[in-house]
Structures are given as structure tokens and as C-alpha cells.
Amino acid sequence: MEERVGEAEPEQQQEEEQVVNPWTVSAKGGGKIDYDKLIDQFGCQRIDQQLVDRIHRLTGRPPHVFLRRGVFFAHRDLNEILDAYERGDKFYLYTGRGPSSEALHLGHLIPFMFTKYLQDVFKVPLVVQLTDDEKCMWKNLTVEESQRLARENAKDIIACGFDISKTFIFSDFDFIGGAFYKNMVKVGKCVTYNKVVGIFGFTGEDHIGKVSFPPVQAVPSFPSSFPHLFSGQDNLRCLIPCAIDQDPYFRMTRDVAPRIGYHKPALIESSFFPALQGETGKMSASDPNSAIYVTDAAKEIKNKINRYAFSGGQDSVEKHRELGANLEVDIPFKYLSFFLDDDDKLEEIRKEYGSGRMLTGEVKQLLVEVLTEMVERHRRARAAVTDEMVDAFMAVRPLPNMFS
Amino acid sequence: MEERVGEAEPEQQQEEEQVVNPWTVSAKGGGKIDYDKLIDQFGCQRIDQQLVDRIHRLTGRPPHVFLRRGVFFAHRDLNEILDAYERGDKFYLYTGRGPSSEALHLGHLIPFMFTKYLQDVFKVPLVVQLTDDEKCMWKNLTVEESQRLARENAKDIIACGFDISKTFIFSDFDFIGGAFYKNMVKVGKCVTYNKVVGIFGFTGEDHIGKVSFPPVQAVPSFPSSFPHLFSGQDNLRCLIPCAIDQDPYFRMTRDVAPRIGYHKPALIESSFFPALQGETGKMSASDPNSAIYVTDAAKEIKNKINRYAFSGGQDSVEKHRELGANLEVDIPFKYLSFFLDDDDKLEEIRKEYGSGRMLTGEVKQLLVEVLTEMVERHRRARAAVTDEMVDAFMAVRPLPNMFS
């Protein structure tokens, strides 16, 4: 979608809808994303308590904090995946990343932390697509730089704890060809240019590399794209954990799938992790102070949260004691709701901070502790990821016990 | 380009220009293609006698009949290839075929017969692209059927006599990936959608597979697409023999090449081989009586020429003796000018037939002899091409003595 800039008429501004696609996330009038409306717009379903309970029951494990707190809040056909699982049928997970920056921020980790949980509780294989071709085209990186970033990002992904006996990570530049390319052609045949303009908002000035890309992101949804993993299992279902801005790719994929003989992939979709400055979009890689990076030292984390994290607390202690914090806009509370696993503790903060008995400083202090511990743990894990391990995860190989 | 059909206004018909692109060849007002105008439109150069003489001198071999008779009539940067050759620099040949039909007709063989001559006299390697992906997309063939046709067509190509120690034939479906795909992305980044609409006439109703295809046909022009052949030889020049309807692909390629660090490919381009019914376009695979196929038996060749070959002779013998044949429209004479290697004999026919001393029946009789011999020879050669030979030509392998 073209980013709208500059001198829109006031009437137009009022009319302006929220825009969510892989390249632009902007709310109506610069406010918060309306996720209910997004669900309507996109035609997906909300994940309700019943569905969370069903996952709990089927896996015999407590639902991940991102499920309990509604971070992953929308889905497509998740019940069909669970029906299949309940019958004893298998499925596989597919997620990915466009390797555009060296250091990941917390928002980047969310789908991978959640995907690791899904792999653990369902005991299923995972394919991770590194779209170095996409980033080479969109960010005007060289092929070599895109591939270097892909390997760097792979280390962060591996550091999330994926099981090497169930996980295949691939770079598009290295892997595309053969059965994968054949599926790209099959998808490309089913989608008109007008259709991708409608879905992605391409214009005539966009280069044809961009127009060629949607099939690349589509085809890992089809098991036959990975003959070394799923040979003869064309009926295997696919579940895609991702942020909801990727939904357009998979709307297109789901439209095409039955026409070329595959199941529609199922989706489980997250909201956006807010910037430190407030919940008006995604974090921005171009503003280092808008996000906590996995490379940030403890001191930086503390400084960023204390200086930049938008507070819903009141201007004076007196007023705060009287009115309490506005939790709807408070970033420290929001971040804790993503990463503080202890439900009782979070409930306590909601009450104490919301009523004004707890101060912003105390909440920020707790958040600094939680994030520092998490980031330090990730950094230790990442430091232990060798180039040989990256090669091993990215080797085109069978995964003999991927369903056990 | 959209094919124009039906009820054009008379004014429009008058204004209608000739259209030549990979999918449509139509002359102004249904007449003959104006090749001088095409050279102007496309911005290529005519091959003049001086250039033919230079090739003769450099190769020490008589120029191919297709050069002497102006079948290959246009070029881009051919002098630069010859300059390089004269300095002792190397180059490689690239040609291809879209495998849409089982049996080839004579028009299909022309670029391959000429390419074999170029390989022989310059002693250079050749890559042959079988665009099975293109035909799968344009002709709505299945992947499997496109690949089957690609192998069938490869047998006809091999039967033209290419040197296996200098020739690599590949199917896009099998070969695309790695360095080839990286070059596709590099090309795609440099070409806007508006640009391909201008060059190829795509519309919004065309599927994105078509929009993605031009880079596929472009990148065999770059030596780095074939690391098993030309590793470390990124400066190697490429010469593309093809029919002039393929020029749009290579205009685009030449525009992009210097921006991504490669030489522009040079081209040597042929006119179209006329249909039996007359010189108003290319032969049509959908009308078996418009062309001589390499599978036609001697009896069919004789029958087709006698019944369908458009004659420039007069209605009665008396009138013919008086006025002579109109060689400008006479298909038997035209075909002989493509395939009768003997210059003196052709000159004799030009005089005798053009003046009316020779009758159409005699010219057709000679043409039947020439074509039957040629087709029989091709059929014998093709019957000797085994599946193992196809595998050998298509194996991704080095060609150790490709320049000797």
C-alpha cells in the first residue's frame, strides 16, 4: 500500500482507514490499531477462551503466555488443525523472517518464542523461511549482504531453542529451485496482477521483483515444496504462526491452495509489539530508541525504559495516588503483559498500579528486571550458536524423527 | 500485446502498426512484415555485406546460407563480439526454445541450424534454455507435460548436431536456483511493472507468473548464471542467435546488464520463416497444413507443397511464359532460398522461374526433393538420440574443452 504523506484534505484524513500490510502498519488518525476491525477486514477469526482451553486440553500443557494474554489473538482454520491433531493426523509449522537488520528487537522474537512453544507441545516439524531475496529487493541490499544477514538472524532464531531434529531453516537464495520453484509457478499462474494490486497495493512504478515475490512466501505452505522432508505427504496440513501484517500473503495462498491440490494453510496471528513511545504501530528498526534490542546491554535496557517507555501514570505522585495509572496506554504494563509469565503477579500490578498504589518507577523497575534477564538469556544462548550449528540447521536433509 | 480482433474502425485499421513480440507477429493491414521498419522500431542494426564478409574472413569458412541470404538479417553489437574474437577473447552462445509442441516444424529448426554453424566456426560453448516454466504458464500445460515436451524437443535440438563437449541444455524447472535465481532477483529489481507493460504489453488481467518470467529468459545472458561452466569469467561476452520476435526480452536484458555489472548480450536475429500459405507471419502450430513438420513423411511433404505452397506463378502456362513468376510472393522459391545451399542453382531458378521459362511444378518438385532429404536426415539423426544422450547434454557438469 502506498504510504500516504503530506497534504491530505481534512475530509480525506477523517475517511482514512487503518492500513495493515507487510510494509505499512498505520492506525486510523494515528491512534491505536483496531484489532476487532482488522479481524473483520481480513476475514479471520478471534481466538476465544474456548479455543485456548482446547489447546490446553489437547496438549496437556499450560497455554503459552502469548495465548493466555491474547498476543496471538486471531486465526484461520486453527480448529481444523486441532481436529486433525486429535484424530492423530500430523501437521507442520511454517514461519519466517525477512533478514533486514543485524540485531533483532523484542518484537522480532515474539513469533519465534511462540513457534518454539508450538513445536514443543505438538511435537511437530518446523520450516523457517529466511526471505533474503525479499529484503534484497525491498531494502536494496546486495545479494551477499542479504545472505549474511540471513545467517546472522538464523543464529538468533536458533537461540530461541528450536529442536534441530525437527527444524529446517532455509535461505531463499540458497534453497529456491526444483519442487519449490515448480510450486511458485503453479501459484503465479493462479494470481492476476490486478489481484496482487488489490492485496498488496503495488503500483506500476514498483519493480517486477516485488510482483514476483508473493508466490515465494506462499509455497512453504505446501508440503511438496520440501521433498527432502515431506515426500509423499501432499495431504499434510500446515500451521503458520506470524504477525497479522503477514495475513495478506496467506489470504492469497489460501485462495490458490485448493486450485492446485493442497490444503489451505491454517494461521495463528499475533498483534504488534508496541514501540517504547506508545502503541501506535510496530517498532521501527530505523529508530534505535523505539525498541529494546537483543544486543542491548543491561544499562541500555534500563536507560531506554526509564527515558522512553511511555507511561500511563499521572504527572504528580498526588494525582497518581488519586487517579491511578491509565493501563490502556501504559507501555511498561503492556510489556509486562507480554513477558511476565506469572499471572498472579501481573494481576496484582494491574490492581495496584491501576489504582495508584504502585508508582510508574516501581513498574519500570520490575520490567527492567524481566527484560534484562530475558535478553541476557537470549544473548548467552546466541553466543553458543556456532557457524557449524547454523550449517546443520540449514542443511537440506531429512528429519527422521520429526513427528516424535 | 493484446491481439486485436473483430470490428476495428477503418481509420484504425489504416493506423494499425505491425506488432512483433514473443506472442504476436502481425503485419500492417495483413501484409508482409516490414523488416526495415522493425529494425527502426526495435533499434537494432541490419547485417550488411561487409559484416558477412568479416565473419567469412574471421572464421575462414563460407558464411552459412542463412547469412548469405539474409535470413539472419539484424544484430546488436555483433561487431563487438567479432572485435573480441579477433583479439583472442572468448564468448559463448545462448539460445532457447519454449517447448509447447511435440513435433517441430522447419521454422523451429532455423535458429538451431544456425547456432550449430556458429558453434562450429567459432568453436564456442552453447547454453540452450528450454523454457518449460514459460509454456506451463502461457499454454496452461501441467508442469509434468511441459517437462516431457522439453525432453522431446531436446532430442530434436541434439539431432541438429551440437557438440556435447561444448553444449549444455537445461530445463528451467530443473535448473533454476542458486546463482541463476540470484541473477533473476537482480534483474527483477531493475525493471518496473510499467516497463514490462511497455515492452510486452501485459495487462492487469495477466497472471503474475507472466510478469515474473522476463528475468528468467534474461539471465542466461550472464555467465555467472552458470557457475559450473563460467566460474570466475564474469566478463565473458554472450551472443544470442534468435528470431527477431524475441528481441523485446533482450532489449530489456541489455538495458539492465550494465547496471548489475555485466556486458550487454549481443544478438543475431532472423526473420520469420513463412507459412506455406504465404508470407504474412510465422507458421502456426495450430494449423498442421501451414507448415512442414520434421515428423512429416515424404508423401506428406510432397502433398503439402503441391497443395498448399502459395505460388507466384501465373494462372495459365501461356501467361506464365509471358509474365514469369512473382518471386516476391512465391513460397516454393522463398523456401528454396532458405534451404538450397547452392548459390548458382538458386540464381538459375531466379532467372528461369522469374522469366517464365521454368514452371511452378518444376520448382515445387525441386523443393520437395530438398526438404524431403533434409527432413529424412533430421529424422534419422533424431532416432539415434537416446534418453541417455539427453541426460548427458542436460547434466550440470563442466565442459572442460569448451573453447577448443
Q: Choose from B143, B193, B199, B256 for mutation: most chain A CBs within 10 A.
A: B193
Q: What are the DSSP calls for B165-215, one per residue?
A: TTEEEEEHHHH-BHHHHHHHHHHHHT-BHHHHHHHH---TTSBHHHHHSHH
For cell 522469366, what's the residue? Answer: B355
* Angle, vertex CA B5, rays to CA B2 and CA B10, nearest 5: 115
The pLDDT assigned to A58 comes to 97
The pLDDT assigned to B284 comes to 67
Has residue A180 got a pLDDT over 80? yes
**Residue A142 grid coordinates:** 546486495
Which residue of A143, A178, A188 is in closest CB contact with B186?
Answer: A143
A204 and B194 within 8 Å at the Cβ level: the answer is yes
The pLDDT assigned to A2 comes to 31
Report the pLDDT averaged over residues B350-363: 96
Report the pLDDT averaged over residues A357-385: 97
Minimum mean pLDDT among A285-299, B129-143, B251-265: which range? Answer: A285-299
The pLDDT assigned to A191 comes to 98
The pLDDT assigned to B15 comes to 52
CA dist B87 and B100 (Å) reads 40
Please tell me which residue of chain A has the smallest CA distance to B147: A182
Residues from chain A that touch B208, judged by Cβ atoms under 8 A, are 188, 191-193, 195-196, 211-212, 214-215
Report the pLDDT averaged over residues B318-331: 95
Q: Choose from A180, A208, A212, A256 for mutation: most chain B CBs within 10 A.
A: A208
Angstrom CA distances, A59 to A119, A144, A203, A250, B128, stand at: 11, 42, 45, 26, 54
Report the pLDDT averaged over residues B341-360: 97
Report the pLDDT averaged over residues B371-380: 97
CATH number, domain B32-273, options 3.30.9.10, 3.80.10.10, 3.40.50.620, 3.40.50.720: 3.40.50.620
Residues from chain B that touch A139, judged by Cβ atoms under 8 A, are none
CA dist A225 and B291 (Å) reads 41
Neighbour count for residue A222 (Cβ, 10 Å): 26
Please say whether the beta carbons of A99 and A60 come within 8 A.
no
Please say whether the beta carbons of A76 and A266 come within 8 A.
yes
Q: How much is the CA Rg of chain A, to the nearest whole Å? A: 21
Has residue A14 got a pLDDT over 60? no
Interface predicted TM-score (ipTM) = 0.93
B209 and A193 within 8 Å at the Cβ level: the answer is no
Has residue A228 got a pLDDT over 90? yes
Minimum mean pLDDT among A2-16, A158-172, B206-220, B383-397: which range? Answer: A2-16
A211 and B212 within 8 Å at the Cβ level: the answer is yes
**End-to-end Cα separation, chain A, in angstroms:** 43
Neighbour count for residue A80 (Cβ, 10 Å): 15
Has residue B7 got a pLDDT over 70? no
B211 and A208 within 8 Å at the Cβ level: the answer is yes
Task: List the beta bridge partners of residue A170.
Answer: A129
CA dist B301 and B309 (Å) reads 10
The pLDDT assigned to A285 comes to 64
Neighbour count for residue A299 (Cβ, 10 Å): 9
CATH 1.10.240.10 fits B298-384, yes or no: yes
pLDDT of A250-272, one tens digit each?
999 999 999 999 999 999 999 99
Please say whether the beta carbons of B201 and B17 come within 8 A.
no
Which residue of A174, A182, A209 is in closest CB contact with B143?
Answer: A182
B136 and A193 within 8 Å at the Cβ level: the answer is no
Task: List the beta bridge partners of residue A278.
Answer: A275
Residues from chain A that touch B194, judged by Cβ atoms under 8 A, are 204-205
Residues of chain A with CATH 1.10.240.10: 298-384
Has residue B2 got a pLDDT over 50? no
Residues from chain B that touch A177, judged by Cβ atoms under 8 A, are 175-178, 181
Has residue B107 got a pLDDT over 90? yes
Residues from chain B that touch A211, judged by Cβ atoms under 8 A, are 193, 208, 211-212
A203 and B182 within 8 Å at the Cβ level: the answer is no
Please say whether the beta carbons of A361 and A396 come within 8 A.
no
Minimum mean pLDDT among A109-118, B41-50, B96-105, B279-288: which range? Answer: B279-288
Q: What are the DSSP calls for A45-78, one per residue?
A: EE--HHHHHHHHHHHTSPPPHHHHTTSEEEEESH
CB contact set of B333 (below 8 Å; sequence gap of 6+): B312, B325, B327, B349, B350, B353, B363
H or E element, residue A321: helix A317-323
CB contact set of B289 (below 8 Å; sequence gap of 6+): B276, B304, B307, B308
What is the pLDDT confidence band of residue A404, given thresholds at 50, 70 and 90? confident
B174 and A174 within 8 Å at the Cβ level: the answer is no
Report the pLDDT averaged over residues B175-198: 98
More confident of the two residues A140 and A187: A187
Angstrom CA distances, A39 to A70, B131, B148, stand at: 14, 42, 45
Which residue of A181, A186, A206 is in closest CB contact with B193?
Answer: A206
Has residue A102 got a pLDDT over 90? no
Angstrom CA distances, B213 to A204, A267, B209, B252, B305, stand at: 17, 30, 6, 12, 38
The pLDDT assigned to B239 comes to 98
Residues of chain B with CATH 3.40.50.620: 32-273
The pLDDT assigned to B13 comes to 42
The pLDDT assigned to A357 comes to 96
Task: List the beta bridge partners of residue B23.
Answer: none
The pLDDT assigned to A9 comes to 36
A207 and B186 within 8 Å at the Cβ level: the answer is no
Tell me the average pLDDT of chain B: 93
Has residue B286 got a pLDDT over 90? no
